[in-house]
Structure 1
Amino acid sequence: MTGTIDPEAATYLDKTRIAYDEVAADYADLLRDLHAEATWDRAVLSAFAEVVRGPVVDVGCGPGRITGPLARLGVQVSGVDLSPAMVEVARREFPGLRFSVGSMLELDLADGELGGLVSWYSLVHTPRSLLPAVFAEFCRVVRPGGHVLLAFKAGDRKRTLTSGYGHDIDLDVYEHPAELVIDLLDEAGFAERMRLVRAPEEFEKQAQAYVLGVKRG
């Protein structure tokens, strides 16, 4: 995607960047072992690692808590995040992997450069009106036959966080209906390969969704 970011996108990007710069270190400490404890997360990521071929980018990678496990599964993966502070933590936690600062609306990647792309709860702060632009950008950078894996909060609600990870923040959180996400992916150029919507567990308050799409050739 090229050109000037519209005001709605600019506001969402600024709010997200500021909030995660603020909480980066504590976020990494609090969620460090979450993946190891999450049965469904491990199952979905393992399946993705089996089907994907070629380089993968973890978009909205945060401190690398999913990038690292993907690398251990043998995936050729790097990470991109909007927050410079998150990228700094990721580089420290996983010095053997490559992390860079960037936006999911304008990825610094060539057309068809990737064999796969992961967006692991990075859509949770994305307004629904911007999802088509995000998925179009994902489709641009993934080659035909390549895969996109999304994890997100399933539902139809928006709320605003004023505190998180021990800090005062101002951050919108969106739930997205799984059917809508699949329809928008289809419009962008991805065919559905797998969907899983599961009930909330432990500290979760809503259902969680995983969607795997393949770019049509």
Structure 2
Amino acid sequence: MNEAIVSHDSDKRDPKQLVAQGYDQVADAYAQLEHTATWPRMRWLEKLLALLPARAAILDLGCGSGDPADIALAHQHHVTGVDISEAQIRKARQNVPSGTFLHADLGSVAFLPGSFDAVVSFYTLEHLPREEHAAIFGRIATWLKPGGYLLLGTEAAESAGSVGTWLGAPMFFSSYDSATVQHFIRVAGMVLQETAIEHQREQDHEIAYLWILAQKA
């Protein structure tokens, strides 16, 4: 999601505060990106929908405004969304009135074990310090019911952490290469069902994303 970035690797501001404030600032501009190009998110979501039981409980980590993924999910399932941006959570509550949306840090939010049939996370993991990524996958596995699914879309890049200007706002990015992400998921106790690297157009840039569909063993 890092189109139009001017990198500032030495920036020492709190990364989570930057992400929260950044997404508050760009909420309207970000909402337009997926409506101006064909992204793979909804195609991957259809793969998950075909596997879910009726009235499944689904957690969206980094839900943003809920448009379009949570709107689609809420037609048949109960959605719980988490986002660090207060502005995005307000939009999600308007867009998906049947859902439950929490203004919280997905790196520390807690749910009871076995609470969800599926966890989805789109374009979000790369906004958390990558030192937290392995633990997040472990917590996701705990929250899933036996046989539950994870659907992940995250930047396919190696970045120890940097701050750049994105859609006119400061934004933090940090990620591992695709092999490391897959390793974390397997260690957490999930079995990879399908993986792919896909490019999507964001304004004038092509960005590579890692897509993973996994199931709790």
- The TM-score by the shorter chain falls in which range? 0.7 to 0.9
Distance 1:176 1:204, change over 3 A: farther
Give matches, 1:55-74, under 5 Å: 55-65=57-67, 66-72=69-75, 74=76
Distance 1:60 1:142, change over 3 A: same
**1:147 matches 2:139:** no
Give matches, 1:51-90, under 5 Å: 51-53=51-53, 54-65=56-67, 66-72=69-75, 74-90=76-92
Q: Which sections of structure 1, spanning at least 5 residues, go unmatched?
A: 1-9
Instruction: Report the Cα offset of residue 175 of structure 1.
Output: 4.3
Instruction: Report the Cα offset of residue 196 of structure 1.
Output: 1.3
**Which residue of 2 is the match for residue 208 of structure 1?**
209
Give matches, 1:38-187, under 5 Å: 38=39, 40-53=40-53, 54-65=56-67, 66-72=69-75, 74-157=76-159, 158-164=161-167, 167=168, 169-187=169-187
The CA deviation string for residues 66-115 of structure 1, in whole angstroms up to 9 with x for no partner, is 2112224x233221111111101111222233212122122342111111
What is the number of residues matched between the two proteins? 200
Question: Aligned to 2:191, what secondary structure does the other structure show?
Answer: strand
Q: TM-score, normalised by structure 1?
A: 0.82
Q: Compare the two structures and name the one with the higher helix fraction.
A: 1
Root-mean-square deviation over aligned CA pairs? 2.2
Q: Which sections of structure 2, spanning at least 5 residues, go unmatched?
A: 1-12
**Residue pair 2:74, 2:98 contacting (<8 A) in 1 also:** no
Q: Which has the higher contact order (CA 8 A, sep 6+)?
A: 2
Percent of aligned positions that are identical: 25
Q: TM-score, normalised by structure 2?
A: 0.82
Q: Compare the two structures and name the one with the higher strand fraction.
A: 2
